[in-house]
Amino acid sequence: QVQLVESGGGLVQPGGSLRLSCAASGTISSTSAMGWYRQAPGKQRGFVARILYGGTTNYADSVKGRFTISRGDAKTTVYLQMNSLKPEDTAVYYCNTYPPLGSWGQGTQVTVSS
């Protein structure tokens, strides 16, 4: 069983920044690749970013250059620094392994609006 707890979302104006955090626990390896995903209203959940155990990162084209994924010292803590936010970034953001396991956390709502 894996527990995933996301936090750090909120309401921000276009151009603003937020930092999301994810704490993963349970039957998850510290060597697992971790990822961030998001689900906008009326859309399917999709990939945002991933970080491999060695530190290699990859991003969806829509967030490249604006978002940065990183891991904490515990390796099962993952962050997503989001800069230059746009209204189209509005979504519920989730973390999980990459590829994702079957269970998901509650997510954290990010709303970008003036």
Residue that is written with structure tokens 């009326």 in the block: 42
The percent helix, strand, coil of the chain (3-state, each to 5) is 5, 50, 50
- Residue 38: pLDDT band (50, 70, 90) is very high
Question: Whole-angstrom Cα distance, residue 60 to residue 80?
Answer: 13
**What is the CA 11 to chain-centroid distance, rounded?**
16
pLDDT at 2 over 90: no
pLDDT tens, residue by residue, 40-58? 999 999 999 999 988 999 9
Which three-class secondary structure string do you get for 52-102?
Answer: CCCCCEEECCCCCCCEEEEECCCCCEEEEEECCCCHHHCEEEEEEECCCCC
